[in-house]
Amino acid sequence: MTHRNIKIGATAAVLTLAFVGLMWSTLRGGTEYFKHVDEVMVDPQAWHGKQLQLHGYVVPGSILKKPNTLEYKFKVQNNPARAPEAGNVVEASYTGVVPDTFKGEAEVVLKGRLTPDGFHTDPNGVMAKCPSKYEAAGKSAASGT
């Protein structure tokens, strides 16, 4: 009986260790910080080069697109566009196709890295809030495009 218990115990220990080790390694590579603009812009240097998910709102009228390309430049602020204060603002750049819901005032989450000249968004890294069944979508506003 004890022999059997030792066997089971050892197997369980090895499996647990392997599991924890694998978990650790995948988490290290896979995690991204989820930050609001204000949290990052307090000390931008500290965040340079780190993989981020940046939450904010597109500054109305700030979306610029180079004609005949898919290059975008826009600004993202911490607070909703109609809040009394805008909060910190960060410049962002992106190349690629943007979702339909991406426009001025849209609530967005950007995946990418912060650099001294603004936030570089990864390919397909723009997530604009989807209209959901459970809350009416934010109404449109002036769009930069």
Partner 1 sequence: MAALGTFLLLASFVVCSYAAVASVIGARRGSRSLVESGTGAFHLVAALMTCASAVMINAFLTDDFTIKYVAHYSDRVQPLFYKITSYWGGLDGSVMFWVFLLSIFGSAAVYVNRERHRELIPYIVATISAVQMFFLYLMVVHKNPFTTFVTAAPAEGEGLNPLLQNYWMAIHPPSLYTGFVGMTIPFAFGIAALITGHLDDSWLRAVRRWTMVSWLFLSFGLTLGMIWAYEELGWGGYWVWDPVENAGLLPWFTATAFLHSVMVQERRSMLRVWNVTLVIVTFFLTIFGTFMTRSGVVQSVHAFGEDRQLAWLFTIFMIVILVFSFGLVIHRLPLLKARNELDSWLSREAAFLVNNWILLLSAFLVLFGTMFPTLSEALTGERLTVAGPFFNKWLVPIGLILLALTGVGPLLAWRRATVRNLADQLLLPALGGALALGAVLALRIPIWSAGLCFGLCGFVTATVAQEFWRGARVRRRNTGTDYFTALVGLVGRNKRRYGGYIVHVGIVLIFFGFAGNARKLDNQVTLKPGADVKIGRYTVRNDGIKVSDDGQKQMTTAYLSVFVDGQQIDGMYPARWAYRHHEQEPTTEVAIRRTAAEDLYLVLAGFDLGDQSAILELHVNPLVNWIWFGFGVMALGTGIALLPERSFAFALAKLPAEAAATTSIALVLALTFFGGATTVRAQRGMGGSEDTRSSFYARTPFEKQMQHEIVCTCGACGHQNLAECRKDACSTSHQMRGELAALIDQGKSHDEIIQAFMNKYGSQEMLGAPLDSGFNRLAWLVPYAAGAAGAVMIGFAAMRWSKRPETAAADPAPARDPALEDRLDDELRDLD
- In the complex with partner 1, which residue's Cβ is closer, 77 or 90? 77
Give the contacts of 18 (CB within 8 A, at least 6 positions apart).
Answer: none
Residues in the site for partner 1, rule: CB under 8 A? 22, 26-27, 29-35, 53, 60-61, 67-70, 80-84, 86, 96-101, 103-105, 107, 109, 111, 124, 127-143, 145
Minimum Å gap between C-beta 20 and partner 1 is 12
Give the contacts of 38 (CB within 8 A, at least 6 positions apart).
Answer: 78, 87, 88
What is the Cα–Cα distance from 63 to 89, expressed in whole angstroms?
A: 13
Minimum Å gap between C-beta 141 and partner 1 is 6
Can you read off the two tokens belonging to residue 117?
A: 């000249």
Position 77: which residue type?
Q
- In the complex with partner 1, which residue's Cβ is closer, 31 or 45? 31
